[in-house]
Structure 1
Amino acid sequence: MKKHDRCIVIGASAGGVETLREVVAGLPADLRVPVFVVLHIPPYAASILPKILAKACPLPVIHAKDGERVSGGTVYVASPDHHLLIEGGRVAVKRGPKENRFRPSIDALFRSAAHVYGPGAVGVVLSGALDDGTSGLWSIQRTGGTVVIQQPGDARFDSMPRSALEYVVPDHLLPAAEMGPLLGRLALEPVPAAPPMDPHFEKLLAAEVKIAAEGGAFQKGIMELGTLTPFTCPECHGALARILNGLTLRFRCHTGHAYTDSALLEGVMECAGEMLWQVIRTLEESVMLLNNMGTHLREAGDMGRAEAFFTKARILEKRSRAFHDAALDHESLSGDNLGQKPEN
């Protein structure tokens, strides 16, 4: 794939189906560049997104197939539980490590577009929660590509557009209904010259694209490309390296899972909540077992030992209630909800 070719990559999450329909409905029927779409969808459900978008879009809309050649004028949609990537002149559909706890990941698609198309990439962030897409959009801009962001006031869920605006200066900020015609015009514009690249960023970008496709972050040098931290991955509990792209702070473990700081906080807090319920289950099982053993001893006539078991069961039951209260008070935290203004 030549760096002067163009492509359009679009990322959406919550509220994204309706927004994507608005965007693709405005695409010109004679568009000659490929369009790649990632929408966060559950891994356990079949996706009918191509059918939904095809009803509004004048172009063919299909689920991407691994290894097929990229064709201009086609909209490629990510499949459930698979990253959608670009590898040279072909589409890659891979089950690499999750990013921001998602697969498909918007960041993974955007980075691959930045790596392959350079200044010819056009990145679009639409409605969604949290901040997937921000880091990838930064990479597109860093390699000279074009940044398009939905106006937060137009988004059904504004966290993703707001996060992108916090770290990336958009070339175009507009409502979803106006994006289709804009993307058609951008596809016809000459591709600008690529900006000078920092060798460390180029090496990191290439490595992260490969990690999204294959995993094996340790073998691909992620520990040398980032800074080792005391944090561990909520997914696999591996060591996390800190990665700084501009002002965007990210983490990636040695097996390949990647997080923004907000997604990492959400994952850690979710693990804490799960561990509290595991402690409760273990304590309650211990109470039941102690009572069972005490009953057996009492029936055998050994009242002294039986009472010792019953006493210990009452102590553990009290501890279990304390953990139960802590679990009910446990919060699900992320940069998303911490950044919200408190309600009056």
Structure 2
Amino acid sequence: MTVRPRDIVVVGASAGGVEALRAMAAQLPDDLPAAVLVALHMPAGGTSALPAILDRAGPLPAQVARHGEPLEHGRVYVAPPDHHLLVSDGAVALSHGPTENGHRPAINALFRSAAVARGAAVTGVLLSGMLDDGVAGLQALAGQGARVVVQDPRDALYPAMPEHALQVLSPDHVVAAAGIGEVLAKVTLELVEADSGPAPEALRWENEIASARRFGEGMSAVGRPSEFACPDCHGVLADIDNGLRYRCRVGHAWTAEALVAAQGDAVEHALWTGMRALEEKASLCRRLAALARERGSDQIAERYDVQARETLEAADVLRRQVVGRG
């Protein structure tokens, strides 16, 4: 039996993740026999200071990942803004594939690519964050025999991501961020079977979408159309995981919880837009009422005054709805 080392570590974090990543990096051994790839949710524009932060925090050199560069042991590769960070044939791959839960880079995309490329030779680490980002990717890793490490929710600034992972998985380790370095020092010394067979077709299909090698074509084979629209492109979402995850025809992916949050944002935007339109209509009605009075048309002016009052009452109803959502 051919074996290989467990020498790929993939790390995902979101809100509160910088603090957790810094604590983890500070305790990594300087001779870690693995490459570490990090995806942190961040805005699309600008640059990221995370590589410099991690480079100063611990003994391992950290850098912005570059497409096509070979993975080296004892080095940290950080996803650049607006690009998925992926593992491909022992090298870094960057992609501008569809967003997942509205994010690029996406944690699920990194975890899934590592599961496809290296299977059991991977350790997945999920840190602080909101909603359930990264959990589907962590499940993919566990299904391929990879080790799973989750930050202790009590140690996370935003415990939702670790908590969701604990609800659906039995991680190999649940530790504070500062203790993850010690865990990785041991786990990366393990040897695993080199060839455990190809990853499941659905997993490879989703990885190809994140890699921008294909879009959502063929989704009918892995899911059925739902009644929901994609918040990014407004296309029909297909249910690809029994109501837990969805993808649209062009590839945008959403978990059910992230979809609820995105729909909530859309509702709030609609409420603010409606309130603005009502305020503008009331202002215009008052102006028309004043002009009518100047011309001596009191009956017409009163009609505009009534419209202004009714419109302001409707705007006040919307205002209470918006305030109540806060």
* Deviation at residue 206 of structure 1 after TM alignment: 1.5
The 1:227/1:193 distance shift into structure 2, 3 A limit, reads farther
Residue 308 of structure 1: CA displacement? Answer: 2.1
2:238 aligns to what?
241
Residue 329 of structure 1 corresponds to which residue in structure 2? 324
User: TM-score under structure 2 normalisation?
Assistant: 0.91
Report the alpha carbon displacement of residue 45 of structure 1 after superposing the two structures with TM. Answer: 4.5
Task: Tell me which residue corresponds to 2:310.
Answer: 315
Give the ranges of 4+ consecutive aligned residues of structure 1 lying more than 6 Å apart after TM superposition.
none
Per-residue deviation, 1:18: 2.3
Give the AA of the match of 2:161: M
Show the counterpart of 2:229: 232
Is the CA contact (8 Å cut-off) linking 2:3 and 2:194 kept in structure 1?
no
Query: How far apart are 1:63 and its partner, in Å?
Result: 0.5
Distance 2:51 2:78 in 1: 7
The answer to whether structure 1 residue 306 and structure 2 residue 301 are counterparts is yes
For structure 2, the 5+ residue unaligned runs are: none
Show the counterpart of 1:27: 28
**SS of equivalent to 2:28:** coil
Percent of paired sites with the same residue: 42
Structure 1 position 236, deviation (Å): 2.2
Q: Does 1:176 align with 2:177?
A: yes
Moved more, 258-267 or 204-213: 204-213
Q: How does 1:155-170 map to 2 (within 5 A)?
A: 155-170=156-171
Structure-2 separation of matches of 1:156 and 1:322: 36
Q: Quick one: distance in 1 between partners of 2:196 and 2:171?
A: 17
Aligned 8 A contact 1:4 1:117 in 2? no
Helix, strand or coil: the match of 1:85?
Answer: strand
Paired position in structure 2 for 1:251? 246
Q: Secondary structure at the match of 2:317?
A: helix
Q: CA deviation at 1:136?
A: 0.4
Q: Which residue of 1 aligns with 2:211?
A: 213
Q: How far apart are 1:138 and its partner, in Å?
A: 0.1
Q: Distance in 2 between matches of 1:196 and 1:62?
A: 32
Query: How far off is 1:161 after superposition?
Result: 1.2
- Mapped partners of 1:18, 1:321: distance in 2: 42
Task: Show CA shifts across 1:122-154 (max 9, x none).
Answer: 101122222111110000011111111122223
Distance 1:12 1:3 in 2: 30
Q: How many pairs align?
A: 324
Q: Which string of whole-angstrom CA distances, capped at 9 and with x for unpartnered residues, describes residues 161-199 of structure 1?
A: 1111111111122222222122122222111466677xx
Q: CA RMSD in A?
A: 2.4
Query: Structure 1 length normalisation: TM-score?
Result: 0.86
Secondary structure of 1:191 counterpart: strand
Q: Report the CA distance shift for 1:182/1:301 in structure 2 as closer, same or farther (over 3 A).
A: same
CA distance in 2, matches of 1:99, 1:310: 49
Aligned equivalent of 1:142 = 143
Give, as a single letter, the amino acid of the residue that structure 2 aligns with 1:328.
V
SS at match of 1:214: coil
**1:90 Cα shift?**
2.6
- When residues 69 and 232 of structure 1 are mapped into structure 2, their CA distance, relative to the original with a 3 A threshold, is same
For the residues of structure 1 that align with 2:144 and 2:56, how far apart are their CA atoms? 34
Secondary structure of 1:91's aligned partner:
strand
Cα shift at 1:77: 0.6
